[in-house]
C-alpha cells in the first residue's frame, strides 16, 4: 500500500497563537511517492519547512483554505519555491475565492504576479474538484468569518481519503463532503464551553466527527484558550463522546497512513535549518 506522510509544521491558529507563536503556524505538508503539497501555509511555513528538512522546492501543490494570515501568509513565497523562483510554469495553486480574487471583507492575498506562474490555478469554491499528481481534491463549504472559506477532501487511490475542515463552525451537513474519510483533520480552535461564531469548539468537533465517521480524528489549529486548556484533554473528550480515536497534533508531529494510521514516534534525523542552508 502506498504510504502517505503528513507533517504538522504548525498546530496554532487564531491571532494570538500566531502573533506569539505559542504554537507554530506553518500549516501541513502532505506527501506520498507521487504528490507533495503544502496546505494552509501560515506564518513560518517556509522557515519551518526548511528546518524540518522538507525542501519547499519539491512541492507541486499549494492549497489555501481562506484569506486569514494564519492560513495564507507564506503562500506567495511557497509559490515562488514551487515555480523554481518564478522561472518555470509548475504545480497547482488551489485557493479560496477570497485568496485569489478577494471578497467583501478581504483583498486578494496573492498578487497577480504569483498567480501567473503555477501551471494550474484553481478557484476552490465548494464542490470544485481538481487533481494534484494522482490525488483528487474536492473543496467543501466552511462557515467562517471569511465567507469564501473552504475545507478539502483528498481522495487517494490505494490508501483512502483524508479531510481537512479548515476554520468552520458546526452546521448540519458540514461533515457530509467528508463522509467516511480515513483521517479527519479538524481546525479545533476553541475548547468545550468557549463558543465563538465561525469557529470550532470541541463540542462542534464531536458533531462533525459523528457526521464524518472517520477511522481517526486529529485536532490542530489551536487558539490561545485551547492551548491553555490543553488540546490533549479535549481530544480525549471528543474520543469519549464519539468512540473515534482522536489525538491532538503537536508541532513537528509526523503521521503515516498505510494499512494503519500511525504517529511516527521514532526519532528521524532532521537536518537543522543551518545545515540545510549550508548544503543548498
Ligand atoms: Zn485560522
Ligand atoms: Zn480564519
Q: What is the pLDDT along the chain (280 residues), one digit of tens a residue?
A: 669 999 999 999 999 999 999 999 999 999 999 999 999 999 999 999 999 999 999 999 999 999 999 999 999 999 999 999 999 999 999 999 999 999 999 999 999 999 999 999 999 999 999 999 999 999 999 999 999 999 999 999 999 999 999 999 999 999 999 999 999 999 999 999 999 999 999 999 999 999 999 999 999 999 999 999 999 999 999 999 999 999 999 999 999 999 999 998 765 544 455 554 555 4
Ligand 1 centre distance from Cα of residue 129 (Å): 22
Ligand 2 centre distance from Cα of residue 107 (Å): 14
Ligand 1 centre distance from Cα of residue 17 (Å): 10
Ligand 2 centre distance from Cα of residue 67 (Å): 7
Q: Is residue 277 part of a domain?
A: no
Q: Is residue 275 part of a domain?
A: no
Q: Is residue 202 part of a domain?
A: yes
* DSSP assignment of the chain: ---EEEEEEE-B-SHHHHHHTSS-EEEEEEE-SS-EEEE---TTHHHHHHHTT--GGG--EEEE--SSHHHHTTHHHHHHHHTTTTTS--SEEEE-HHHHT-BTTB--SS-HHHHHSSSEEEE--TT-EEEETTEEEEEEE--SSSTT-EEEEEEETTTEEEEE--S----TTTTGGGTT-SEEEEE--B-TT---TTS-BHHHHHHHHHHH--SEEEEE-B-HHHHHH-HHHHHHHHHHHH-S-EEE--TT-EEEESSSEEE--SPP----HHHHHHH-
Ligand 2 centre distance from Cα of residue 226 (Å): 15
Q: Is residue 171 part of a domain?
A: yes
Ligand 2 centre distance from Cα of residue 225 (Å): 16
Q: Residue 28's pLDDT is what?
A: 98
State how many domains the chain has.
Answer: 1
Ligand 1 centre distance from Cα of residue 143 (Å): 12
Ligand 1 centre distance from Cα of residue 108 (Å): 17
Q: Is residue 89 part of a domain?
A: yes
Q: Residue 265's pLDDT is what?
A: 74
Q: Which ligand is nearest to the CA of 67?
A: 2
Ligand 1 centre distance from Cα of residue 14 (Å): 5
Q: Is residue 41 part of a domain?
A: yes
Q: Is residue 124 part of a domain?
A: yes
Ligand 2 centre distance from Cα of residue 97 (Å): 14
Q: Is residue 273 part of a domain?
A: no
**Residue 252: which domain range?**
4-268
* CATH assignment of the domain containing 133: 3.60.15.10
Q: Which ligand is nearest to the CA of 70?
A: 1
Ligand 1 centre distance from Cα of residue 269 (Å): 30
Amino acid at each position: 500500500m502506498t504510504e502517505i506522510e503528513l507533517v504538522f509544521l504548525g498546530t496554532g491558529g487564531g491571532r494570538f497563537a500566531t502573533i506569539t507563536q505559542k504554537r507554530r503556524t506553518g500549516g501541513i505538508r502532505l506527501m506520498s511517492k507521487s504528490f507533495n503539497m503544502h496546505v494552509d501555509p501560515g506564518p513560518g511555513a517556509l522557515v519551518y519547512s526548511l528546518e524540518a528538512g522538507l525542501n519547499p522546492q519539491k512541492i507541486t501543490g499549494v492549497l489555501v483554505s481562506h484569506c486569514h494570515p494564519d492560513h495564507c501568509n507564506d503562500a506567495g513565497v511557497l509559490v515562488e519555491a514551487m515555480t523554481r523562483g518564478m522561472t518555470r510554469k509548475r504545480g497547482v495553486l488551489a485557493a479560496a475565492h477570497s485568496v485569489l480574487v478577494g471578497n467583501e471583507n478581504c483583498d486578494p492575498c496573492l498578487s497577480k504576479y504569483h498567480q501567473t506562474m503555477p501551471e494550474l490555478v484553481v478557484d476552490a469554491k465548494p464542490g470544485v474538484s481538481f487533481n494534484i499528481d494522482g490525488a483528487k481534491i474536492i473543496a467543501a463549504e466552511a462557515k467562517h468569518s471569511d465567507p469564501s472559506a473552504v475545507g478539502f477532501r483528498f481522495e487517494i487511490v490505494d490508501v483512502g481519503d483524508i479531510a481537512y475542515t479548515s476554520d468552520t463552525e458546526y452546521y448540519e451537513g458540514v461533515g457530509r463532503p467528508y463522509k467516511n474519510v480515513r483521517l479527519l483533520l479538524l481546525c479545533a480552535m476553541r475548547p468545550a464551553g468557549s463558543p465563538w461564531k465561525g469557529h470550532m469548539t470541541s463540542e462542534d468537533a464531536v458533531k462533525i466527527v459523528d457526521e464524518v465517521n472517520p477511522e481517526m480524528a486529529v485536532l490542530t489549529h489551536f487558539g490561545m484558550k485551547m492551548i491553555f486548556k490543553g488540546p490533549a484533554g479535549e481530544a480525549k473528550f471528543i474520543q469519549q463522546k464519539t468512540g473515534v480515536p482522536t489525538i491532538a497534533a503537536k508541532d513537528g508531529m509526523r503521521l503515516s497512513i498505510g494499512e494503519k494510521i500511525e504517529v511516527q514516534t521514532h526519532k528521524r534525523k532532521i537536518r537543522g535549518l543551518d545545515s540545510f542552508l549550508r548544503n543548498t
